[in-house]
């Protein structure tokens, strides 16, 4: 008898079936399933590079056991990044390395979904779980604030 569990996820709208052996994190399951937009670095919940939205909640996927995720919806940078944020990050020089950027993108798009307008402190607080010790945060914060204002203006004009 095969005791390997079968877990079905919906990742950025597409089904992903995994057969985790032992204690497998959501991060490992996603990457083993070809979802390479999700990055792993510390794998201890410290750096935020593995951030995804899991059933609407921002999580470090390295800290979530995939066996607890049957039927869950997972959103990664691949599905979440909208062109206006990509453009703003580029213009503000805020596209950083391949380890941290996907996590920053997920956190930023999650923050941008907030009902109320974002203040600088809101963005800084939202990004505090995403670490970079190489460059800086000012460009990212400026890009998110710019996109938040522009999206709200566009929604108000509709």
Shortest separation between residue 33's beta carbon and ligand FES, angstroms:
17
In angstroms, the CA 158 to CA 93 distance is: 31
Instruction: Select from 30, 38, 49, 58 the one that contacts ligand FES (CB under 6 A).
Output: 49
Within 96-155, which residues bind ligand FES (CB under 6 A)? 96-97, 99-100, 132-135
Largest CA distance in the chain: 60
In angstroms, the CA 30 to CA 65 distance is: 11
In angstroms, the CA 134 to CA 146 distance is: 23
Rule CB under 6 A: is residue 30 a binding residue for ligand FES? no
Shortest separation between residue 13's beta carbon and ligand FES, angstroms:
23
Cβ nearer to ligand FES, comparing 58 with 88:
58
Do 144 and 138 form a contact (C-beta atoms < 8 A)?
no
Q: Which residue ranges make up the site for ligand FES (CB under 6 A)?
A: 40-43, 45-50, 60, 62, 96-97, 99-100, 132-135
């Amino acid at each position: 008898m095969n005791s390997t569990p079968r877990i079905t996820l919906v990742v950025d709208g597409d089904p992903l079936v995994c057969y985790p052996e032992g204690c497998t994190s959501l991060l490992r399951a996603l990457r083993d399933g070809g979802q390479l937009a999700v990055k792993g670095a510390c794998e201890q919940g410290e750096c935020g590079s593995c951030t995804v939205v899991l059933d609407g909640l921002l999580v470090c996927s390295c800290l979530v056991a995939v066996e607890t995720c049957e039927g869950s919806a997972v959103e990664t940078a691949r599905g979440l990044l909208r062109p206006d944020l990509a453009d703003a990050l580029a213009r503000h020089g805020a596209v950083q390395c391949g380890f941290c950027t996907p996590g920053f993108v997920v956190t930023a798009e999650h923050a941008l979904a907030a009902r109320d307008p974002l203040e600088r402190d809101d963005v800084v607080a939202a990004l505090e779980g995403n670490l970079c010790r190489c460059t800086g945060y000012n460009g990212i914060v400026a890009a998110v604030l710019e996109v938040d204002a522009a999206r709200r203006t566009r929604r108000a004009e509709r």
